[in-house]
Every structure is written in structure tokens, then in C-alpha cells.
Amino acid sequence: MFLPQLLEKTKNGERLVALTCYDASMARLMATCGIDILLVGDSLGMTVQGHNSTLPVNLTDMVYHTRAVANGAAGRAFILADLNFGSYQASPAQAFASAAQLMAAGANMVKLEGGALFAETVQFLTQRGIPVCAHLGLLPQSVNSTGYRMQAKAETAAQQLQDDALTLQEAGASLLVLEAIPAELADRVTRALTIPTIGIGAGAQCGGQVLVINDLLGLTPTPPRFSKDFLQGQGSLEAAIRAYAEAVRGGQFPGPEHSR
């Protein structure tokens, strides 16, 4: 699947369904279940490698897992790969060199964290044929500064986030992940943009939703409030993933209990 096909879904009023994915077998299953976006997230540092943050993940890790996921999906889902910490912050040229490796491994788009500071980088990448997904709100790569908590609760911070979103859209970003922000702000930002938003802990009004697969399967010892164990009551991994996709597309997930 390529970017125009993905965006066509949103133009038709469909909610985008995304899940993190790190290996070929799960990619094959997710594609079979109709998951739109397979996010090869640097969250693998925590879910796969056992670290307490995403910061130890390197570009070699990201390329390896992106290639595995792309092989498993075999063109039946859109592959979004994270630019890991330290692989893009120095300069647009560094970001391009890193992104080029992920694209060669099978990614259809790369994701980077941060606001207007990275507008030049977004423009640099998109002008060179690399689609970009921006990421605002809770930024896991900045956890040492912010901690894992709700962001942009004050109006000043909320307005800054909205301004950053508009700047990144103007720079060429095609998607925007909103993580752990008030649902009202996510709705406001979504309405202000022309590109789709994908929420995680940001309420139900985004243009799509993403979850970490380990949270969806009840494998996280202390799951975040915005997640849901979709395996509970289901008979298989496939049934759990299909239940999640149906709940997102039907507007049943996330519910009020998954938002703040």
C-alpha cells in the first residue's frame, strides 16, 4: 500500500487503524486482518529488547525490524517506521541518510518526534521523496525531560501544540500522531488540519488510532489507561486484532474511559 491509497481511505470517511509491529509473522497476520498501518516503532526497545525507554534503540535495530515487517506484510499494509533517537536531530541531512535506510528496508513513510523545530527536516525529506509522519504530545524520546504523563493540558501549551501541527503540515507532513493529550485538544487540532491525525491516548475524534500490540494483547504488566486488552474474551490473536480494527472503524474505541 502506498500513501495515496492510505489517504484515499480518510477522504472516504474511514478511520485509519494502526498497530505497532516488529516481525514478519505478526505483520502477515495484521495485514490479513486489514490493519491499515503497521508502525515499526522504536517502542521495540521496551517490548522486544526489555529496556525502560525507547532511547537505546539504534538505526540498525530499526532497519532490521522494518525489513522483517515489510517482508511479512508483502505490500498488503502501509509500513511506517520510526526514526530512532539520535538518527535525525543533528541535521536534515542526517535525517535523510537515516530515512533512506528505512525506506530501502521497506518503509513507506518515516516518523519523527517534535514540533516546529523539525519543520526544515520535514520539508527536506518530503522534497526528496520521503513521506513523513509527525508526532506531537507525549514524545517518548524526550521522556527524560517530560516523563510519561499527559501533555499540553494548559492553554498556552495547547496552542503551541496546535501551532506546531500547522507548521509541520505546511512543511509537508502527511500524517500526525497525537499522543497523550486531552481529547478536546486532539479534536481541535484534527479540525484545524487537512492531514489525518492518528491518536494514542488522545480521544476518539482523531482520524485514526494506534496501539502498541503488547497492550492490545494484555502483555503489558501495567498497561496505560488509554489501552484495552482486546484478547480478553477472544479465542485467538486474529480475533483480538480483528476486534480492535472493528472497534476503531466503528467508533467504539477509544471510549470515554480511555481518554482524559
Mean pLDDT for all residues in the chain: 97
Residue 47 has pLDDT above 80, yes or no: yes
Do residues 170 and 119 make contact, with C-beta atoms less than 8 angstroms apart? yes
Q: Which pLDDT band, with edges at 50, 70 and 90, does 248 fall under?
A: very high
Average pLDDT over residues 43-63: 98
Average pLDDT over residues 197-201: 97
- For residues 64-103, b (16+ Cβ closer than 10 Å) or e, as one string? ebbbbbbebbeeebbbbbbbbbebbbeebeebbebbbbbb
Residue ranges in 194-249 assigned as alpha helix (H): 213-216, 237-249
Tell me what pLDDT residue 132 has. 98
Tell me what pLDDT residue 172 has. 98
Name the burial class of residue 239, with classes exposed (0-12), middle (13-18) and buried (19+) by CB atoms within 10 angstroms of its CB.
middle
Residues with active-site annotation: 179
**Nine cell digits for residue 191:** 479540525
Q: How many residues does the chain have?
A: 260
Residue 8 has pLDDT above 90, yes or no: yes
| 105-145 residue pLDDT tens | 999 999 999 999 999 999 999 999 999 999 999 999 999 99
Do residues 88 and 121 make contact, with C-beta atoms less than 8 angstroms apart? yes
User: How many Å apart are CA 163 and CA 99, to the nearest integer?
Assistant: 25
Cell match 521523496: residue?
A: 129
Tell me what pLDDT residue 1 has. 86
DSSP state for residue 74 in the 8-state scheme: T
Q: Which pLDDT band, with edges at 50, 70 and 90, does 252 fall under?
A: very high
Task: Name 9's Cβ contacts closer than 8 Å, sequence gap at least 6.
Answer: 16, 36
Domains of the chain: 3-258 (3.20.20.60)
Tell me what pLDDT residue 217 has. 97
| Residue from 111, 195, 180 nearest 150 by CA | 180
Report percent pLDDT > 70 for the chain.
100
Average pLDDT over residues 196-215: 97
Tell me what pLDDT residue 258 has. 78
User: How many Å apart are CA 156 and CA 217, to the nearest integer?
Assistant: 37
Do residues 17 and 33 make contact, with C-beta atoms less than 8 angstroms apart? no
Tell me what pLDDT residue 101 has. 98
| Residue from 138, 137, 136 nearest 148 by CA | 138
User: How many Å apart are CA 137 and CA 16, to the nearest integer?
Assistant: 19
Cell match 526528496: residue?
A: 128
Q: Which pLDDT band, with edges at 50, 70 and 90, does 260 fall under?
A: low
User: How many Å apart are CA 100 and CA 109, to the nearest integer?
Assistant: 10
| 181-193 residue pLDDT tens | 999 999 999 999 9
Residue 232 Cα to chain centre, angstroms: 24
Do residues 70 and 28 make contact, with C-beta atoms less than 8 angstroms apart? no
